[in-house]
């Protein structure tokens, strides 16, 4: 019985060794047996990508990006061929493709390429033959057939883009957790798995530190309305469905609490309060490829103000150096850094139509004796920068307050 | 100053680790600096290919060959990208290609594909830009863009075929020995490096156990008259030039002595002496892909004869099984095996016009108290199967007799 097409994506931890690859093969074969057509996207085995990066760095600290892509793309090529073999062993026909063979055409921005087109002819041809098609995640090729990679988490993007292009009924993202949780269960043991979540909520969750799925791929899923099912490769349980709209039995204001420990705060003191001065600081940072996240500027007094902002910890050294040089040239004062901060956020589409979430959040943090250093809000989230030592207790207190364990 | 084009091939031991890759890069860059255009063919790092085969066998004992090629081809893709990085670090521009990107088009015989065409447009374009082009050895792609491999030693073939197609001035084969020797220096310390050797002699040497270069690639070099220079990647010395004709100062009858320990002897006793019986035995063996090397049949008496032949040790179990079943069906007697034999050969184009080499060889072996079990001759070689215990002393005695240490 023909049941439709499913795109499945298995991350590195799901294929970390031969035993796990065989497990993945069993799961894929099970779906095939029950009547589905299958396109399977696979990441590199376990830590292969990191090992290859390390190998390259033994040769040269800043490898040419084209060659880096040539090197890294071997990781997924190994996993797709091994998975095809494992499926073949179970008596099913499978064929593996590199990104290039799978028709994934990208621009020429090596190491962070964007998909510009997918030519699914070859994939469709193999599906028509009844074969399970396995495509290397994270990679593609330029029109000139140079191999490219899509950046960290790029396998999610491969899966979502293929699901869109092939009009798949579902895109299943297999990972090492059961789904999306109301909070990190390692911090809040009462955290519950969320059965349904909207693209927008998931986007906030992803960009705010829930590292289950790459943010870019959720954007693409949202744009083309691709139904996503995030679930564990180690259990048969249903995970979290990510959809456009979620009809909930009762009104839920807040869907989850997230924590991001990867940011650092930079403060420029005594900035002259003249038009264009803030622009100057952030122009230089963005020109160097540094993403600035939250920005807070205090009300000015005495024609001087303090400007604080957060950047990823990975960029903090470069950011401080740049900011110090700008601060000097604009006549500002000291530049301070604080790596001991975290961002705690509450996320939920219910907030749109609900006032008082911010007040409730601040109240909880105050009760928890937690000083709020910066605040940022969106339609469906509120984030606070707080000292790291309060991180876990803040998550638990917010989880409790918004009744997420109900 | 423009000096012409050299194709260089570096084997797995030449790129076994990052330090060696850096050494290869220095050598390549040196040639570039002195004015040559360069196309560099690289094998997989050290034992990578064997490790990948082992990995596949953990998944399935007989992997589908298409997927095996997909897997194995990653080995060279890793080495070409790392070598490009290492060259880049020395301040030269390099670009790496997979076999497919390098335009190597093969038939669809996965794991032992044959090159049917090379489209050198991309390589030439990069050479015109002044770049060093690095091509993954051992691999190509079908017209349908499926990845193929060329079989063991296939990187030599890639190099020779590219040298032919690009009309290179020389094809340099870098290996872990200084060149071709008059005998294995581990057996005969007086063995001398041969400066010049003909394709025909080298073909005999290669197929007779001197494992420096793949036989198929020498055939191609001979067919298209590609000058080959076999040399060490660890020294700057000149190695052995393989050419069509070699003008030698004085007449050399024998160029070298080779030893092959990889054969086993099978004897079918009491074979009925009827037409077609021998054909039956060897048809079944060749049908199973088993190469039979030497064949000896004794003069028949009493309407029965013994037939002996040699096969590669890797095939011996299968060959015996097959032969036993044929022997039964044709009414022959016992099938005996002997794995304790070696083949010792003398090779040299001078033999063509020189009688008495065979007699001299047999004389030496007799003096050495070595029984000759089988004999086979060609235009430029004579081979004897002898017991393994005499192998080394036979090589040394023949080396001495034909004055190869002169």
Q: How far is A76 from chain B (nearest CA, A)?
A: 10
Between chains, do B78 and A22 touch, taking CB under 8 Å as contact?
no
pLDDT at B277 over 90: no
Q: Closest partner residue to B60 among A58, A78, A89, by Cβ?
A: A89
Q: Which of A82, A86, A131, A139 to mutate to test the interface with B (most CBs of B within 10 A)?
A: A82
Q: What is the mean pLDDT of residues A61-84?
A: 97
Point out the residue among A77, A82, A145 whose CB comes nearest to the CB of B101: A145
Q: Is B351 helix (H, G, I), strand (E, B) or coil?
A: helix
Nearest CA in chain B to A66: B95
- Of A25-39, B44-58, B194-208, the range with the lowest mean pLDDT is B194-208
What is the 8-class DSSP label of residue B165?
H
Residue with the larger pLDDT of the pair B207 and A33: A33
Given this model, what pLDDT does residue B245 score?
A: 85
Which has more confidence, B83 or A236?
B83
Separation of alpha carbons B202 and B347, rounded Å: 9
Six-digit token string for B228: 């080959």
User: A18, A42, A67: best mutation site toward chain B, by most B Cβ within 10 Å?
Assistant: A67
The size of chain B, in residues, is 406
Given a contact cutoff of 8 angstroms between Cβ atoms, the answer to whether B193 and B239 are in contact is yes
Q: Is residue A105 part of a domain?
A: yes
Closest CA to A103 of A84, A85, A127, A86: A127
Q: What is the band of A296 on the pLDDT scale with cuts at 50, 70, 90?
A: confident
Residues A322, A327, A329: CA angle, nearest 5 degrees: 100
Sign of CA pseudo-dihedral B203, B204, B205, B209: positive
Q: Contact, B28 vs B40, CB < 8 A?
A: yes
Q: Point out the residue among B73, B74, B84 whose CB comes nearest to the CB of A67.
A: B84
CB contact under 8 A, A60 and B88: yes
Partner-chain residue, chosen from A73, A96, A145, that has the shortest CB–CB distance to B67: A96
Q: Looking at the complex, report in whole angstroms how far the Cα of residue A74 sits from the nearest Cα belonging to chain B.
A: 5
- Whether B109 is in a domain gets the answer yes
| Chain A residues near residue B17 by CB distance under 8 angstroms | none
Q: Look at residue B275 in the predicted model and tell me its pLDDT.
A: 78
- Residue of B18, B74, B96 lying closest to A77 (CB–CB): B74
> Which residue do the tokens 């002496």 mark?
B273
Q: Do A101 and B145 touch (CB under 8 A)?
A: yes
- pLDDT for the residue A133: 98
Asked if A81 lies within 8 A of B68 by C-beta distance, the reply is: yes
* Confidence band of B384 (pLDDT split at 50, 70, 90): very high
Q: At what angle do helices A65-89 and A18-33 cross, to 10 degrees?
A: 60
Q: What's the confidence (pLDDT) of residue A232?
A: 93
Nearest CA in chain A to B102: A145
Predicted pLDDT at A253: 82
Distances B249 to A153, B194, B314 between C-alpha atoms, Å: 66, 13, 42
Give residues with Cβ within 8 angstroms of B301, minimum separation 6. none
* Nearest-by-Cβ selection for B82 from A56, A73, A85: A56
Nearest of A194, A165, A173 to residue A255 by alpha carbon: A194
A88 to B58: CB separation less than 8 angstroms, yes or no: no
pLDDT score at B1: 55
CB pairs under 8 A between A and B: 105
Q: What is the predicted pLDDT for the residue at A81?
A: 98
Q: Which range marks the domain in which residue A137 is found? A: 4-176
Is the model's pLDDT at A61 over the cut of 80? yes
Q: According to the 3-state scheme, what is the secondary structure of chain A? A: CCCEEEEEEECHHHHCCHHHHHHHHHHHHHHHHCCEEEEEEECCCCCHHHHHHHHHHHHCCCCCHHHHHHHHHHHHHHHHHHHHHHHHHCCCCEEEECCCCCCEEECCCCCCCCEEEECCHHHHHHHHCCCEEEEECCEEECCCCCEEECCCCHHHHHHHHHHHHCCCCEEEEEECCCCCECCCCCCCCCCCECCEEEHHHHHHHHHCCCCCCCHHHHHHHHHHCCCEEEEECCCCCCCEEEECCCCCCCCCCCCEEEEECCEEEEEEEEEECCCCHHHHHHHHHHHCCCCEEEEEECCCECCEEEEEEEEEHHHHHHHHHHHHHHHHHCCCCCEEEECCEEEEEEECHHHHHCCCHHHHHHHHHHHCCCCCCEEEEECCEEEEEEEHHHHHHHHHHHHHHCCCCC
Q: Which residues are CB-contacts of A97 (< 8 A; sequence separation ≥ 6)?
A: A80, A122, A123, A133, A134, A135, A136
Of A60, A74, A82, the CB nearest to B85: A60
- Would you place residue B202 in the very low, low, confident or very high pLDDT band (cuts 50, 70, 90)? very high
Question: How deeply is A397 buried, as exposed, middle or buried, from its count of CB atoms within 10 A (0-12, 13-18, 19+)?
Answer: buried
Q: Do B86 and A59 touch (CB under 8 A)?
A: yes
pLDDT tens digits, A129-176: 999 999 999 999 999 999 999 998 899 999 999 999 999 999 999 998
Sheet holding B147-149, edge to edge: B115-118, B104-106, B139-141, B147-149
CB contact under 8 A, A82 and B88: no
- pLDDT on residue A352: 74
Whole-angstrom Cα distance, residue A384 to residue A342? 8
Instruction: Quote the pLDDT of residue B356.
Output: 85
Min distance B48 CA to chain A CA atoms (Å): 12
The pLDDT assigned to B350 comes to 81
Please report the DSSP string for B97-153 in residue order: E-TTTTTEEE-S-TTS--EEEE--HHHHHHHHTTPEEEEETTEEE-TT--EEE--TT
Distance CA A75, CA A372 (A): 43
What integer pLDDT is reported at residue A391 of this predicted model? Answer: 95
B53 to chain A, closest Cα gap in Å: 11
Q: Kindly report the CA angle at B71 between B68 and B76, in degrees rounded to 5?
A: 120
Quote the percentage of chain A above a pLDDT of 70: 97
Between chains, do A60 and B86 touch, taking CB under 8 Å as contact? yes
Residue B61 in any domain: the answer is: yes
Instruction: Name the interface residues of B facing A (CB cutoff 8 Å).
Output: 18, 21-22, 52, 55-56, 58-60, 63-64, 66-68, 70-71, 73-74, 77-78, 80-82, 84-86, 88-89, 94-96, 98, 100-101, 145-147
Provide the CATH number for the domain around residue B72. 3.40.1160.10
**What is the tens place of the pLDDT at every residue in A258-276?**
999 989 999 999 888 887 8
Which positions in chain B touch A80 (Cβ < 8 Å)? 70
The answer to whether A145 contacts B67, with C-beta atoms less than 8 Å apart, is no
Which residue among B56, B63, B77 sits closest to A74, beta carbon to beta carbon? B77
> Is pLDDT at B388 greater than 70 in this prediction?
yes
Q: Which residue in the set A59, A68, A96 is minimally distant from B70, CB to CB?
A: A96
A300 pLDDT above the threshold of 70: no
For A291, the token pair is 């993403």
d(CA A4, CA A2) in angstroms, rounded, equals 6
Instruction: Output the pLDDT for position A299.
Output: 66
- Angle, vertex CA B136, rays to CA B132 and CA B141, nearest 5: 125
Mean per-residue pLDDT over chain B, rounded: 92
Asked whether residue A39 is domain-assigned, the answer is: yes
Domain assignment of residue A196, yes or no: no
Nearest to A311 by CA among A333, A289, A329, A326: A289
Q: In what order do the strands lie in the sheet with B132-136?
A: B94-97, B132-136, B36-42, B4-10, B170-175, B228-232, B240-243, B196-198
Residues in A whose CB is inside 8 Å of some CB of B read 18, 21-22, 52, 55-56, 58-60, 63-64, 66-68, 70-71, 73-74, 77-78, 80-82, 84-86, 88-89, 95-96, 98, 100-101, 145-147
Look-up of token digits 């031969």: A18
Of chain B, the percentage scoring pLDDT greater than 70 comes to: 97
Whether B6 shows a pLDDT value over 80: the answer reads: yes
| Mean pLDDT calculated for residue range B259-280 | 88
Q: Do B77 and A82 touch (CB under 8 A)?
A: no
pLDDT value of residue A19: 96
Would you give the DSSP letter of residue B301?
Answer: B
Model confidence at B406, pLDDT cuts 50, 70, 90, reads confident
**DSSP line for B54-100:** HHHHHH-SS--HHHHHHHHHHHHHHHHHHHHHHHHHTT--EEEE-TT
Cβ atoms of A265 and A373 within 8 Å: the answer is yes
List, in sequence order, every residue forming a beta bridge with B241; answer none if it has no partner.
Answer: B196, B229
pLDDT at B315 over 80: yes
- Which of A59, A78, A81 minimises the CB distance to B85? A59
Is B103 part of any domain? yes
Q: Say how far apart CA B179 and CA B231 lie, in whole Å.
A: 5
B145 contacts in A (CB within 8 Å)?
Answer: 100-101
User: What average pLDDT does this structure show over B251-265?
Assistant: 89
The strand pairing partners of A9, in sequence order, are: A41, A173
Assess contact for A68 and A60: CB atoms under 8 A: no
How far is it, in rounded angstroms, from Cα B284 to Cα B276?
Answer: 13
pLDDT over 80 (residue A380): yes
Q: What is each CA distance from A401 to A8, A189, A195, A251, A404, in whole angstroms?
A: 36, 15, 20, 15, 8
pLDDT for B249 beyond 60: no
The average pLDDT across B18-24 equals 97
Q: Is residue A397 part of a domain?
A: no
Domain count, chain A: 1
B98 → chain A, closest CA residue? A70
CB A335 within 8 A of CB A267: yes
Identify the helix (H) or strand (E) that includes residue B216: helix B215-224
CB contact (8 A) between residue A85 and residue B64:
yes
Residue B404 per-residue DSSP state: T
For all residues of chain A together, what is the average pLDDT?
Answer: 92
Q: Which residues of A touch B123 (CB under 8 A)?
A: none
Q: Is the residue at A391 inside a domain?
A: no
| A63, burial (CB in 10 Å: exposed 0-12, middle 13-18, buried 19+) | buried
A207 versus B279: which is more confidently predicted? B279
Rounded CA-CA distance B349/B351 in Å is 5
Q: How far is CA B389 from CA B263, B367, B386, in A?
A: 14, 15, 8
> ipTM exceeding 0.90?
no
Mutate one of A18, A26, A70 to test the B interface: name it (highest B CB count within 10 A). Answer: A70
pLDDT digits 0-9 by tens, B331-379: 899 999 999 999 999 999 888 777 788 889 999 999 989 999 999 888 8
Residue B250: predicted pLDDT: 60
- Say yes or no for a CB contact (<8 Å) between B85 and A22: no
Nearest chain B residue to A68 by CA: give it.
B81
Cα of A128 vs its chain's centroid, Å: 33
Length of chain A: 406
Span B279-297, pLDDT tens digits:
888 888 888 888 888 888 8
Closest CA to A119 of A145, A156, A95, A149: A145
**HSE on the CB side for A209, CA within 13 Å?**
22
pLDDT at A288: 86
């Amino acid at each position: 019985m023909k049941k439709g097409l499913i795109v499945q994506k298995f991350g590195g931890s799901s294929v970390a060794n031969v035993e796990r690859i065989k497990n993945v093969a069993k799961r894929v074969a099970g779906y095939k047996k029950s009547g589905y057509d299958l396109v399977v996207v696979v990441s590199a085995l376990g830590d292969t990508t990191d090992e290859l990066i390390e190998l390259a760095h033994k040769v040269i600290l800043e490898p040419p990006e084209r060659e880096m892509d040539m090197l890294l793309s071997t990781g997924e090529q190994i996993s797709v061929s091994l998975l095809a073999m494992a499926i073949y062993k179970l008596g099913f026909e499978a064929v593996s493709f590199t990104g290039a063979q799978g028709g994934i055409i990208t621009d020429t921005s090596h190491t962070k390429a964007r998909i510009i087109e997918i030519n699914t002819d070859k994939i469709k041809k193999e599906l028509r033959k009844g074969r399970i098609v396995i495509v290397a995640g994270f990679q593609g090729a330029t029109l000139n057939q140079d191999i490219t990679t899509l950046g960290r988490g790029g396998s999610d993007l491969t899966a979502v883009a293929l699901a869109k292009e092939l009009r798949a009924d579902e895109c299943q993202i297999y990972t090492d957790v059961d789904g999306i949780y109301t909070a990190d269960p390692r911090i809040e043991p009462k955290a519950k798995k969320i059965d349904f979540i909207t693209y927008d909520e998931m986007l906030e969750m992803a960009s705010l530190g829930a590292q289950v799925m790459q943010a870019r791929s959720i954007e693409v899923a949202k744009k083309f309305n691709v139904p996503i099912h995030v679930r564990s490769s180690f259990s048969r349980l249903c995970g979290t469905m990510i959809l456009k709209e979620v009809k909930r039995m009762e009104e839920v204001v807040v869907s989850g609490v997230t924590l991001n420990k990867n940011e650092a705060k930079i403060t420029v003191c005594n900035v002259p309060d003249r038009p264009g001065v803030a622009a100057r600081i952030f122009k230089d940072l963005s020109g160097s490829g540094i993403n600035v996240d939250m920005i807070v500027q205090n009300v000015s007094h005495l024609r001087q103000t303090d400007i604080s902002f957060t950047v990823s910890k990975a960029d903090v050294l470069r950011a401080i150096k740049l900011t110090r040089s700008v601060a000097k040239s604009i006549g500002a004062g000291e530049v301070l850094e604080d790596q001991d901060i975290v961002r705690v956020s509450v996320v939920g589409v219910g907030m749109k139509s609900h006032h008082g979430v911010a007040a409730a959040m601040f109240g909880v943090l105050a009760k928890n004796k937690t000083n709020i250093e910066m605040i940022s809000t969106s339609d469906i989230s509120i984030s606070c920068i707080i000292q790291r030592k309060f991180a876990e207790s803040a998550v638990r207190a917010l989880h409790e307050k918004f009744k997420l364990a109900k």
